[in-house]
Amino acid sequence: MIGWNDVALLEPKYRREQIYRAWFDAGVKGIGDISTLPKDLREKFYALLWMPIKLEKLLDSKLDDTKRALLRLSDGEMVETVLMGRQSKKISPSAEKRYTICVSSQVGCPMKCVFCATGRAGFKRNLSMEEIVAQFRFWQEYLRENRKGEIGNVVFMGQGEPLLNYEAVKNAMNILIKFANLGHTKITLSTAGVVAGMEKMIDDPDFPPIRFALSLHSAIPDDRKKLIPSQPEDFFEFLIGWSKKYHIKFASRTHFVGLEYMFIGGINDSDRHLKALIKLASKLGRVRLNLIPYNSIDNDKSVKSADFEIIKSWQQTLMKSGFTTTVRLSQGSDIAAACGQLKNSYDNR
């Protein structure tokens, strides 16, 4: 199937950039509206896809300001993206609300992490750069229509493993930074730890200085391997060496290695796990820890999050040990929009 970018690539760069700019322009509803493009080009592109995704269903959380959009792609596949609104304490209540959107990078996911619904559903295909950017454009349009506020942050924590779709994800991030006026620190890429992709981003001059987060979930190699079976041999040695290179490449006050730690009761929440985490984190340079309660998937009640008191007490110990540590409150769990729950379901879990 020929995408419009296949045609667009035949055009000079400045022409493509006119289109990228128009993607985010509130006054442009289609390629035909780009007045800076000559008429013959508008006609040539017009037949091709301006918006490669269509809304299939929008789910609205009753618990909090979270929405999940189920999107139909042009080949019939489906993917989803999440809008999360939380008023930042830093800005006044009258200030415009900033939203975080969670975007998908693949249809399904091949990583097979045991705790994640997306992996259980299997892998279909990579998303194109246009399909990734279109998720941003979809929510931008939605917020404009509903006069609700703006997209403040983009997190690559939807379906898929972004580092397995390296080029499309990188291009999408660069386009958001350049044409949607999104600051590079407003984008977070989360990975289960794809070694090849992590190495590539360090060597790649075009890789933007976005925020990086690793889904760690255990600092004990054998335990982590049980949760994330794709983990290669000697991953922790690799991680320690890699983070040194990361800090050199992305040296700035705003950069750190993000570590996500999801709590599954009785699995990764013991004192032994906490000690291992402190030991590992202290070898990774500037880190920031994000503690996440486990969200149940597939209505499986046998696996539960650790108690919130345990998570809070870890936070205190980690802070005392000198690590900036936040606790992520899950949003949208009633509409299967929380971390790990994305599997294209039409209603709730």
Catalytic residue positions, numbered: 80, 339
For the bound state, the minimum distance from the C-beta of residue 289 to ligand SAH, rounded and expressed in Å, comes to 12
**Amino acid symbol at 219:** A
Asked whether position 339 contacts ligand SAH by CB under 6 A, the answer is yes
Asked whether position 80 contacts ligand SAH by CB under 6 A, the answer is no
- Out of 130, 161, 250, 284, the only residue in the binding site for ligand SAH (CB under 6 A) is 161
Which residue's beta carbon is nearest to the bound ligand SAH? Answer: 340
Asked whether position 260 contacts ligand SAH by CB under 6 A, the answer is yes
Helix/strand/coil percent split, the chain, to 5: 35, 20, 45
Which of these segments, 12-20, 38-46, 74-82, 190-198, binds ligand SAH (CB under 6 A)?
190-198
Asked whether position 187 contacts ligand SAH by CB under 6 A, the answer is no
Asked whether position 123 contacts ligand SAH by CB under 6 A, the answer is no
Number of residues that bind ligand SAH (CB under 6 A): 17
Q: In the block, which residue shows the tokens 């979809």?
A: 138
CA-wise closest residue to 198 among 112, 284, 121 = 284
For the bound state, the minimum distance from the C-beta of residue 254 to ligand SAH, rounded and expressed in Å, comes to 20
How far is it, in rounded angstroms, from Cα 132 to Cα 173?
9
Are 260 and 213 in contact by the 8 Å Cβ rule? The answer is yes
Q: Judged by CB, which is closer to ligand SAH: 133, or 194?
A: 194
Which of these segments, 89-97, 135-143, 235-243, 288-296, binds ligand SAH (CB under 6 A)?
288-296
Asked whether position 154 contacts ligand SAH by CB under 6 A, the answer is no
The number of beta carbons lying within 10 Å of the beta carbon of residue 232 is 11
Q: Judged by CB, which is closer to ligand SAH: 175, or 337?
A: 337
Contacts of 128 (CB under 8 A, 6+ apart): 3, 5, 52, 168
Instruction: Provide DSSP, 158-188.
Output: SSS-GGGGHHHHHHHHHHHHHHS---GGGEE
Asked whether position 116 contacts ligand SAH by CB under 6 A, the answer is yes
Interhelix angle for 195-203 vs 166-179, to 10°? 40
Asked whether position 294 contacts ligand SAH by CB under 6 A, the answer is yes
Retrieve residue 59's tokens. 């789910």
For the bound state, the minimum distance from the C-beta of residue 303 to ligand SAH, rounded and expressed in Å, comes to 8
For the bound state, the minimum distance from the C-beta of residue 39 to ligand SAH, rounded and expressed in Å, comes to 43
